[in-house]
């Protein structure tokens, strides 16, 4: 078993991936703040939880080996997953809509982005601490 195959490391990688994808969606919302008719999107925490639970359930079911996954229905073998990570961006209009039909409120998007950044940094810190613990455990003992 490789150190990065530990369940806690897989969980943290999934969390980092979720927060990275969510940051990309939020940045797209901010970039389109003046686009007429644009509706902001977001990746819900529920979507992440469902993808994570299905991943963990699949891991328990196939403990003997690793099953290949595909991101497109035309790929050979494996099973198709929704999106690359199992979560989808959904329309999430903010509290106000302007005359041109745009419903992006920059303040709300910035608060979401900041909260997401803090969660990403927390997961990254825990990931790095786990790597350091693994490195310490496999380091040879000096005599």
Q: How far apart are CA 107 and CA 113, in angstroms?
A: 10
Sign of CA dihedral 82, 46, 24, 41: positive
pLDDT given at position 48: 76
Which pLDDT band, with edges at 50, 70 and 90, does 7 fall under? confident
Residue 83: predicted pLDDT = 44
Summarised one tens digit per residue, pLDDT across range 63-122 is 444 455 666 666 655 443 434 566 788 887 778 888 888 888 899 999 999 999 999 999
pLDDT tens digit sequence for 117-138:
999 999 999 999 998 988 888 8
| pLDDT tens sequence across 25-64 | 999 999 999 899 899 999 888 777 777 777 667 655 544 4
The reply to whether the predicted model has a pTM over 0.85 is no
Q: Are 42 and 92 in contact (CB under 8 A)?
A: yes
């Amino acid at each position: 078993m490789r150190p990065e195959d530990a369940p806690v490391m897989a969980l943290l990688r999934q969390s980092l991936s979720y927060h990275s994808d969510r940051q990309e969606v939020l940045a797209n919302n901010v970039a389109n703040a003046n686009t007429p008719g644009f509706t902001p999107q977001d990746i819900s925490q529920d979507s992440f939880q469902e993808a994570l639970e299905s991943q963990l359930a699949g891991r328990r079911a196939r403990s003997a080996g690793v099953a290949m996954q595909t991101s497109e229905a035309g790929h050979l073998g494996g099973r198709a997953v929704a999106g690359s990570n199992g979560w989808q961006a959904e329309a999430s209009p903010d509290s106000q809509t302007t005359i041109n039909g745009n419903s992006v409120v920059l303040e709300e998007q910035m608060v979401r982005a900041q909260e997401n950044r803090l969660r990403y940094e927390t997961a990254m810190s825990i990931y790095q601490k786990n790597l350091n613990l693994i490195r310490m455990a496999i380091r040879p003992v000096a005599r």
